[in-house]
Homo-oligomer: A and B are copies of this chain.
Amino acid sequence: MNTSSDVPIDTAAPVLKLLGDKTRLTMAGLLMERECCVCEFTEIFDMSQPAVSQHLRKLRDAGVVLETRRGQWVFYALNTEHKMYPLVKSIMNGMPSQKEKLDELEKNGNHVVWCDTKR
């Protein structure tokens, strides 16, 4: 049976492929907790900064995440308006929480909080 919330195979497959990479799947898990700064990703993942950037770009190009610049930092968040968000969410709901990784960062004082002092 089809329902109005169904999404074509052709649309879903590329999203699944994106999440089929361990790094990007973990990124999605982190973004389920809260939006994250690129610098947090580069802390967490054992790879070069460009590699992190390229993974984020793929997620962004697919519309799965949204990018926001705040000062010299760029934050990424899950795009909850995206047509594939329900799929992403249902997948991530079965995954272990990545909160500990973020707690670890914050414990080490690496949590970027941006305050617009010019406002």
Contact = CB atoms under 8 A, between A and B. Distances in A.
Within the oligomer, what is the number of copies of this chain? Answer: 2
A90 B89 CA distance: 11
Interface stretch (A16-24, A46-54, A110-118): A16-24
A12 B86 contact: no
Contacts of A22: 9-10, 13
Given A9-B95, A97-B1, A19 B16 contact: yes
A72 to B, nearest CB: 30
A99 B12 CA distance: 18
Contact of A16 (B2, B8, B91): B91
Interface of A: 1-2, 5-10, 12-22, 25-26, 29, 86-87, 90-91, 94-97
